[in-house]
Amino acid sequence: MRPYEACALDDAGVPAENVNELLEALRICAAVTDHDPAGDLPSRMPSAIRRHLRGELAALVRRHGTLAGETLSQRTRKRVVLYGDPRFVGPLASALAASGVHRLWIHATGQARLFEAMPAGLRSDDEGRPRGTALADAVWAVAPEADLRPFPGWTVPDLAIIAGPVGAATAPNRCWCAGLAPNSRSALATAWPWSAR
């Protein structure tokens, strides 16, 4: 136990031996660790982003232990393209950005419509606005640090998501990915092996 923690517990009237006993039991079952995962985040990461991702980091510790900080750091460097129905794209993009994926490209055209409003996505007062702008505002509401600029040139994203109702995809053995020319399924599988599953 750290000295300041011991003082705080003493001030609260909690016997230190009880706390030490509890902490030791939690360490044995890997529910608590002395490792500070925030130390694994890049030092250049702004403090506002570190604070924003505290909850996400805490959740990752349970699954990844001492690798949680590195896992989150890798997530912040991923590039994701989202394309499709704005009712699905908006909430997905917001969830990704809130969980630390800060490099997103939302491929959206046309004007927002009232029926496209969804929690964490387009709002009813977005009707008539450009979809891309309205979706960007939804993402920035949960992650102001998100970079939503289109990827330069032929940058290959780490993940491409085509979001929409089941069955609304594309012709058999063809894929329209992020607004690019159709590719054969085998060519797509070569670029993104996970897409063939």
pLDDT above 70: residue 95: yes
What band does 184 get if pLDDT is binned at 50, 70 and 90? very low
Do 118 and 174 lie in one domain? The reply is: yes
- Percent helix, strand and coil across the chain, each rounded to 5? 50, 10, 40
Is residue 40 included in any domain, yes or no? Answer: no
pLDDT above 60: residue 115: yes
Q: What is the pLDDT of residue 9?
A: 62
> Contact at 8 Å (CB) between 182 and 176?
yes
Q: What is the pLDDT of residue 33?
A: 64
- Which structural domain range is residue 95 located in? 78-196
Is residue 61 included in any domain, yes or no? Answer: no
Do 107 and 171 lie in one domain? The reply is: yes
Number of domains into which the chain is organized: 2
Q: What is the pLDDT of residue 113?
A: 94
What is the average pLDDT across 42-69? 79
Do 159 and 89 lie in one domain? The reply is: yes
Do 22 and 84 lie in one domain? The reply is: no
> Contact at 8 Å (CB) between 108 and 100?
no
Do 83 and 167 lie in one domain? The reply is: yes
Q: How confident is the model over 118-176, as pLDDT tens digits?
A: 998 999 999 999 999 999 999 999 999 899 998 888 888 998 888 887 533 433 334 44
Q: What is the pLDDT of residue 128?
A: 95
Do 18 and 91 lie in one domain? The reply is: no
Structure tokens at 54: 């505290």
Q: What is the pLDDT of residue 148?
A: 93
What would the DSSP string read from start to end of 133-189? HHHHHHHHHH-TT-B-PPPPTTPPPSEEEEESSTT-S-STTEE--TTSPPEEHHHHH
Q: How confident is the model over 128-138, as pLDDT tens digits?
A: 999 999 999 99
Is residue 115 included in any domain, yes or no? Answer: yes
Is residue 154 included in any domain, yes or no? Answer: yes
Do 118 and 192 lie in one domain? The reply is: yes
Q: What is the pLDDT of residue 117?
A: 92
Do 88 and 15 lie in one domain? The reply is: no
Counting residues of the chain whose pLDDT is more than 70, the rounded percentage is 71
Q: What is the pLDDT of residue 2?
A: 54
Is residue 123 included in any domain, yes or no? Answer: yes
Is residue 72 included in any domain, yes or no? Answer: no
